[in-house]
Amino acid sequence: MGNQGDGRIGVVAALVRSAFLVNAVYAESSREFGITSQQGQLLCVLMAQPYGMGELGAVLRLAKSSVTGLVDRTERNGLVRRDHDPQDTRAIQVSLTDEGRRLAEEFYAETCRRVDLLPASLDPAERDALADLLGRVVTDNEVPVVFMT
């Protein structure tokens, strides 16, 4: 699971350390944009389409109370709004405000740029192989689409 004895690390350690690395980039980018990492995730998810509160919980893998608090804080910052669902007026959909869309697009572009630098030492074939393998892992585990790139 850890070091292989030949200087290589095992798949568990590699995945966990990769997650920490990407999370650190995400956190740094979020701070620079004046938002939390969770708000950054929320904005990126909402770039594609509005979501209901339950759907947001599933996509972000958060409890209902956590989603409510996250949306409340982000709404107070003027980045998202709650609207009645046109299909079911009892339900609420969360969508980006104009300011939220602008910030989301800038945050998304900058965060993608930074994450893209992480495997800078890999040649194009290695980058493609890494993308294929990680793509299979996230697809097999039904990880929701958060970043479109």
Please write the tens of the pLDDT for every residue from 24-35.
999 999 999 999
Cα separation, 80 vs 101, whole angstroms: 9
pTM of the model: 0.85
- Strand 51-52 with 88-96, pairing: antiparallel
* Domain-wise residue ranges, the chain: 11-139
Q: Does domain 11-139 have CATH number 1.10.10.10?
A: yes
Instruction: Quick: pLDDT tens for 95-147.
Output: 999 999 999 999 999 999 999 999 999 999 999 999 999 999 999 998 877 66
Mean of the per-residue pLDDT values of the chain? 91
Burial 20-37 (b: 16+ CB within 10 A, else e): eeeeebbeebbeebebee
